[in-house]
């Protein structure tokens, strides 16, 4: 295992796939000359040239449309958005075209395209730059949505996403690009899309968290262990398709569940997972599912308010104490 920063794991995945398939190309704002806004694409222009690593204008709708058209004609684009907050301008191409082309052509045209970039909040960037969009895109049939938490998952799942013949939204956290972690050195390392992972074994409560919230939940689990509560921590990794089998198996063991989500409470990831748990494993629950989410208010700019706005380890601990009747 090699220790890599999150950004380097993503870079490695793109590099390996581009070296194997000349139909893969990368496009987006500052991905070429500047090596990417967060240096994720460092060195790729020098290696593959300007025909395969392409700087675009600040026109998300335009270059997303180019990517969709290229995909329909046999190429395999990787489209980088500087943030998924900006990708709202490209939602017509993502939701109306990329998501629906295979269905509307009766399977005659596939759509092998990856839309990737930072998702959710990124520090003091205020309300219009601090939204998690994974659940919104997951609502649309035809789209696969991945939101990874650690470098190893990022590499293995991005390689799988690039090879997939359907559109995949691959989401990252701006605040995790410098996160270091062990990454498999296995040749041609991939992780199947749609498989959750139990990243901490426990017997008292199942906690489900992804993206930055995985690390919040992990911190809470360490503190709870000091108090004698053993958390089983599940990282879904893929929002859609969601691995309910792994989640259900864990809840049948622990009989309690908390879902931690960096989205607003109404119609978010935690809401859907909570419903699916009650639908599939209600008889095994000893307490209602509790969710930890953002409040129903846009992101503040103030650092103190932002710290209160984001889900915290203390909130996760409080939720676990609720479902285990320790509160």
Q: Which residues are catalytic?
A: 60, 129
Structure tokens at 90: 């490209």
Q: Where are the alpha helices (DSSP H) in the chain?
A: 6-20, 44-48, 60-72, 91, 101-104, 134-138, 151-163, 212-226, 244-254, 269-281, 303-309, 313-323
CB within 8 Å of 166: residues ≥ 6 apart: 102, 110, 111, 112, 142, 143, 144
CB 224 within 8 A of CB 317: yes
CB within 8 Å of 269: residues ≥ 6 apart: 134, 135, 138, 210, 239, 259, 261, 263
Strand partners, 2: 183
Q: Coil, strand, or helix at residue 56?
A: coil
Percent helix, percent strand, percent coil in the chain, to nearest 5: 40, 20, 40
Q: Where are the alpha helices (DSSP H) in 108-233?
A: 134-138, 151-163, 212-226
CB within 8 Å of 29: residues ≥ 6 apart: 37, 55, 56, 57, 58, 80, 81, 82
């Amino acid at each position: 295992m090699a220790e890599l920063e999150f950004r380097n794991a993503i870079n490695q995945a793109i590099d390996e796939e581009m070296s194997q398939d000349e139909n893969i190309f990368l496009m987006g704002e500052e991905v070429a000359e500047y090596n990417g806004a967060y240096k994720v694409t460092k060195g790729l222009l020098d290696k593959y040239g300007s025909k395969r690593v392409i700087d675009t204008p600040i026109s998300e709708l335009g270059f997303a449309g180019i990517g969709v058209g290229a995909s329909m004609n046999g190429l395999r684009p990787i489209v980088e958005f500087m943030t998924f907050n900006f990708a709202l301008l490209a939602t017509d191409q993502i939701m109306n075209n990329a998501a629906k082309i295979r269905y509307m052509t009766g399977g005659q045209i596939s759509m092998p395209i990856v839309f990737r970039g930072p998702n959710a909040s990124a520090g003091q960037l205020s309300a219009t730059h601090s939204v998690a969009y994974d659940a919104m895109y997951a609502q649309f049939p035809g789209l696969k949505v991945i939101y990874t938490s650690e470098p190893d998952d990022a590499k293995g799942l991005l390689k799988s996403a690039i090879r997939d013949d359907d559109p995949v939204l691959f989401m990252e956290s701006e605040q995790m690009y410098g996160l270091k972690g062990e990454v498999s050195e296995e040749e041609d390392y991939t992780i199947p899309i749609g498989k959750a992972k139990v990243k901490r074994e426990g017997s008292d409560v199942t906690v489900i968290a992804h993206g930055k919230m995985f690390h919040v939940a992990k911190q809470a689990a360490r503190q709870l262990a000091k108090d004698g509560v053993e958390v089983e921590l599940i990282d879904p990794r893929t929002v859609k398709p969601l691995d309910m089998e792994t989640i259900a198996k864990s809840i049948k063991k622990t009989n309690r569940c908390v879902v931690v989500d960096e989205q607003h409470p109404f119609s978010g990831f935690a809401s859907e997972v909570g419903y699916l748990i009650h639908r599939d494993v209600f008889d095994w629950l000893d307490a209602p599912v509790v969710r930890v989410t953002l409040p129903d208010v846009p992101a503040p700019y103030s650092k103190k308010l932002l710290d209160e706005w984001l889900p915290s380890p203390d909130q996760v601990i409080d939720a676990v104490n609720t479902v285990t009747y320790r509160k």
